[in-house]
Structure 1
Amino acid sequence: MSETNHTTIYEAIGGERTIRRIVEAFYPRVQAHPDLGPLFPEDIMPVMEKQFMFLTQFFGGPSLFSDMYGHPMMRGRHMPFPITPKRANAWLSCMGAALEEIGLDPTLRRVVLERLQGPAYHFVNTEDDTTE
């Protein structure tokens, strides 16, 4: 990504097609993860679509999420769920594995994961983790 041409992460990773591939590689990992899977509904498709819209917007693409649902307010939307540091780490680990699976360039993988670390840890709302 070059500062001089103001490329967004969305553009640098390949736009809509790549975001879709990330989401499709990510959620099977989340569902299978013992610390994350129980937080998600059995019908994961609506969650996947919201994640696609959010990541598109978050990485500098069209404002799909806001256009459909209003301001993301992601911390508030995650408050009903016990998000622990362990779960934030697991989420980031699943995302890293998904990015690797789809073959995203290692430099772009680092950029994406760095950008997602802030929100992942911002959503932490409890230290209590009875799954440890």
Structure 2
Amino acid sequence: MTTADPATTPATAYEWLGGEDAVRQLVERFYDLMDLEPGYAELRATHGSTLDDARSKLFWFLCGWLGGPDHYQQRFGHPRLRARHLPFSIGILERDQWVACMDQAMEDVGVPGALRERLNESFMGTADWMRNR
């Protein structure tokens, strides 16, 4: 695992990523990839006909989760991620596609390697916890 120098590492992943504009760029690329890449077809199928609502909610959520403003909680209260995702069938395939799509989006928007590695670990843990089948 790559380690970052604590003296030069920003206090939060949100700051390290580059703030709100960078989070927006990451979320947009993530959903663009999901919509375009055949390798994410099963994941895309879980999202309905439009991705607009999902784009907004993930952006709001990630801002706070990464250590920035709590836009999601201000709008909806506690995220209750697992409970909010129970209506969707999430298995190993969907988990793996979500993580792969996010990793590709992070690479495409230039997330620094050490941060990308840390986020991938966190995303995989969270995505695995979301599985309900």
Correspondence 1:72 to 2:72: no
Q: 1:3 to 1:65 in 2, by over 3 A?
A: farther
Judge conservation of contact 1:26–1:95 (CA < 8 Å) in 2.
yes
| Residue number among 28, 41, 47 corresponding to 2:54 in the alignment | 47
Cα deviation, 1:72-125, whole Å, max 9, x if unaligned, reads 000001000110011101100000000010111111111111121221001000
Aligned to 2:18: 14
Report if aligned partners of 1:31, 1:40 keep a CA contact under 8 Å in 2: no
CA distance in 2, matches of 1:25, 1:49: 13
Question: What RMSD in Å do the two structures reach over aligned CA positions?
Answer: 1.7
1:71 aligned counterpart, secondary structure: coil
Amino acid paired to 1:60: G
* Contact 1:31 1:38 (8 Å CA) reproduced: no
Deviates more, 1:55-64 or 1:41-50: 41-50
State whether residues 9 and 16 of structure 2, in contact with CA within 8 Å, keep that contact through their aligned partners in structure 1: no
Give the aligned partner of residue 96 of structure 1: 103
1:5 deviates by: 7.5
**Alpha-carbon displacement from aligned partner over 1:7-45 (angstroms, at most 9, x marks no partner):** 011111111011001001000222342211111122211
Q: Which residue of 2 aligns with 1:57?
A: 64
- Corresponding residue of 2:88: 81
CA displacement at 1:6 relative to structure 2: 6.7
Instruction: Structure 1 unaligned segments of length 5 or more: list them.
Output: 127-132
Aligned pairs, how many?
126
Partner of 1:120: 127
Q: CA deviation at 1:3?
A: 7.4
Determine the structure 2 residue equivalent to 1:130: none
TM-score (norm: length of structure 1):
0.88
User: Which runs of 5 or more residues in structure 2 are unaligned?
Assistant: none
Please give the alpha-carbon distance, in whole angstroms, between the structure 1 residues aligned to 2:85 and 2:20: 25
Name the structure 2 match of 1:129: none
